[in-house]
Homo-oligomer: A and B are copies of this chain.
Amino acid sequence: MGTVGQVTPQEMHFSEPLPLKSGAVLPAYRLMYETYGTLNAQRSNAVLVCHALNASHHVAGTYAGQERSEGWWDNLVGPGKPLDTERFFVIGVNNPGSCFGSTGPVDANPATGRAWGADFPVVTVEDWVDAQARLLDALGIPQLAAVIGGSLGGMQALSWTLRHPQRVRHCAAIATAPSLSAQNIAFNEVARRAIVTDPDFHGGHFYAHGVVPRRGLRVARMIGHITYLSDDAMEQKFGRELRAAEFGYSTQDIEFQIESYLRHQGDKFSAYFDANTYLLITRALDYFEPAREHGGDLARAFAAARGRNFLVVSFTTDWRFSPARSREIVKALVDNRISVSYAEIAAPHGHDAFLLDDDRYHRVVRAWFDRIET
Contact = CB atoms under 8 A, between A and B. Distances in A.
A122 to B, nearest CB: 4
A275 B62 CA distance: 46
A9 B282 CA distance: 46
Contacts of A182: 231, 234-235, 237-240, 256, 258
A63 interface: no
A172 interface: no
Contacts of A183: 226, 229, 231, 234-235
Interface-centre pick from A183, A197, A226, A251 (highest chain B CB count, 10 A): A251
A258 B219 contact: no
B235 A192 contact: no
Contact of A223 (B21, B190, B258, B289): B190
B122 A190 contact: no
Interface in A178-221: 179-183, 185-187, 189-190, 192-194, 196-199, 204, 215, 218-219
8 contacts: A22-B247, A122-B249, A182-B234, A182-B237, A183-B229, A186-B222, A190-B222, A219-B219
A99 interface: no
A149 interface: no
Interface string A247-268: 1011110011011001100100
Interface string A267-288: 0000000001001101100110
A189 B222 contact: yes
Interface string A75-88: 00000000000000
B262 A189 contact: yes
Given A181-B234, A222-B193, A186 B252 contact: no
A175 interface: no
Contact of A197 (B193, B218, B247): B218
A250 to B, nearest CB: 7
A135 interface: no
A251 B192 contact: yes
Interface residues of A, number: 61
A235 B324 CA distance: 14
Interface in A317-361: 319
A258 B194 CA distance: 16
Contacts of A256: 182, 185, 189, 286
A234 B186 contact: yes
Contacts of A234: 181-183, 186
A50 interface: no
Given A180-B240, A251-B118, A251-B122, A197 B219 contact: yes
